[in-house]
Amino acid sequence: MRTGAKTSVVADAASVGSDAGSIRHEETLIEVLILSVTLSERRKRICSGMKSMRRVKSCGVILFRRRPELGFLLMKHAHRFDLPKGHVEPGETDIECALRETWEETGIERDRVTLDPDFRYEETYYPVEPRFGTERVEKTLVIFLGWVEGTDPIRVTEHQGHEWRRWQPPHDIQKFTLNPLLAAVEAHFAKTQA
């Protein structure tokens, strides 16, 4: 996530409410964001001594629907959840990549997805990328927020399955990427619905 986005999410979380439940919820949002910042800084320190690193970018969409209830799409791997996303191809914009990957991994056509122009989540981390052997890379993940109407069937191509998860924050699904992303979406919803 970009530094500016972290700052605005914390500010939004602090203004949500004042009852005991809201305060605990605000603390949870802030803890997730601090964890995200702390881990990002730790990864940078670990990798700062390395020679120049290959950079890769992956883009995707967190898809929401309003019916039959407000929910978002998760793709299933054997031991974790994921989003429809993938690597940017030469000459492709981040949005083009995100929509192409969504179509390839879910079967949802690009013209069925309406992107929220005010939401963009970014995170950088330093994994070993299997396609480059044992080489550690600087990987930037970009996630857009998209809406789909109706209940089109999902065509799973690269995952073991999928699940429409009910939107009922705060969510504790996966410590890395998903939890900070969902906290950012929650803050965005609070800001845009105010």
Question: Is the confidence at residue 11, as pLDDT, over 60?
Answer: no
- Angstrom distance (rounded) from CA 146 to CA 136: 31
Please classify residue 48 by burial: count the beta carbons closer than 10 Å to its beta carbon, then call 0-12 exposed, 13-18 middle and 19+ buried.
exposed
Q: What is the mean pLDDT of residues 25-40?
A: 53
- Angstrom distance (rounded) from CA 175 to CA 123: 13
Pairing of strands 113-125, 138-148: antiparallel
- Give residue 142's identity as a one-letter amino acid code: V
Return the pLDDT at 15. Answer: 36
CB within 8 A of 163, min separation 6: which ones? 73, 74, 76, 81
Query: Which secondary-structure segment (H or E) carries 33?
Result: helix 20-48
pLDDT tens across 67-99, in order? 889 999 999 988 899 999 999 999 999 999 999
Return the pLDDT at 158. Answer: 77
- Angstrom distance (rounded) from CA 189 to CA 30: 16
- Angstrom distance (rounded) from CA 63 to CA 84: 9
Pairing of strands 71-76, 161-166: antiparallel
Half-sphere exposure of 37 (CA within 13 A, CB side): 15
Q: What is the mean pLDDT of residues 50-64?
A: 90
With a threshold of 0.95, does the pTM exceed it?
A: no
